[in-house]
Amino acid sequence: MSRLEPTGVGVYLRDLSEATHGKPDGAAAVAAAHGVDFVALAACWQEADRHTPMNVFDLDDYGRAFAKRGIDVWVWGYPWGTAERVEQFCRTMAQARDAAGAVGVLLDPELGFKGERRRHMLDLLEGTVDTLDEASGLGFTSYGLISAHPSFPWNVAGGWGWGSPQFYTVPRRTALAGLDQWRQAGWRHLVASVPTFGPNSGERTAAYAGAIREHCDGVIFWSWRSTLKLEWRAIEAVARRDDPPAPEELVA
């Protein structure tokens, strides 16, 4: 499988810091020890009234540290649907990808592309692709259940890059329905976003994420900050596929 379509187990990292993640080499060692195949480092966050590049001074060191451990690095960003914001976002993400030595860019459009703002989705997709070369990948993450978000431009976004539907608080059966909806929308390679927080975390992490992983190409955990020892053990179990799924009532 191409590195431009991740498989296995990943983790999101948002605000990079030694307090949360440890020093770069230490963070990479923790990830490698628990079977992590790839990480998504936050690089940009937008709202209607703000554009915020993230981790500008840390992407380089953390990116290199993870890469040394054989862990693929992606840069991740949350864009907003206006012409000005999309232009800023694409530029910032390209700079971040270069700084981190990243495999590619993971887009996370959500509220900022609903309703009237949906018309900027194609600008976001094409603008991002224009910054990529043949050795760079594209990922797309957003709401897990397409049917619950009719004002989002799924008809435009469907099939761009690899997909990562977000399943954090929903029952497993809902997550599996969401995977089917994403496939019907055009994504063929799916790496589900799953939690290390909330009702499906703690003792339920391995059962919930492991069950979902059996129906797609991998999972990526949100997020490092909320991942405690119990969740790290679960991540390792999911990576090794050595923890059997629990009964439905335990993951509902």
Residue 150 in any domain: the answer is: yes
CB count, 10 Å around CB of 98? 15
Average pLDDT score over the chain: 95
Residue 148 in any domain: the answer is: yes
Residue 3 in any domain: the answer is: no
Residue 2 in any domain: the answer is: no
Of the candidates 41, 46, 51, the one whose C-alpha atom is nearest the C-alpha of residue 14 is 41
Q: Which domain holds residue 112?
A: 8-251
Q: Tell me what pLDDT residue 241 has.
A: 87
- Domain count across the chain: 1
Residue 1 in any domain: the answer is: no
Q: Residue 48: CB partners within 8 Å, gap ≥ 6?
A: 80, 82, 85, 112
β-partners of residue 11 are: 39, 221
How far apart CA 238 and CA 35 sit, in angstroms, is 9
User: Percent of the chain having pLDDT more than 90?
Assistant: 94
pLDDT tens track for 190-202: 999 999 999 999 9
> pTM of the predicted model, to two decimals?
0.95
Residue 140 in any domain: the answer is: yes
pLDDT tens track for 17-46: 999 999 999 999 999 999 999 999 999 999
β-partners of residue 76 are: 42, 106
Q: Given pLDDT bands bounded at 50, 70 and 90, which one contains residue 186?
A: very high
Residue 68 in any domain: the answer is: yes
Task: List for the chain the helix, strand, coil content (%; round to 5).
Answer: 45, 20, 30
Q: Tell me what pLDDT residue 120 has.
A: 99
What is the average per-residue pLDDT within 142-148?
99
Distances (CA, A) of 201 to 30, 155, 166, 196, 250: 19, 32, 14, 5, 11
Residue 23: give its domain's CATH number. Answer: 3.20.20.80
Of the candidates 7, 1, 30, the one whose C-alpha atom is nearest the C-alpha of residue 241 is 7
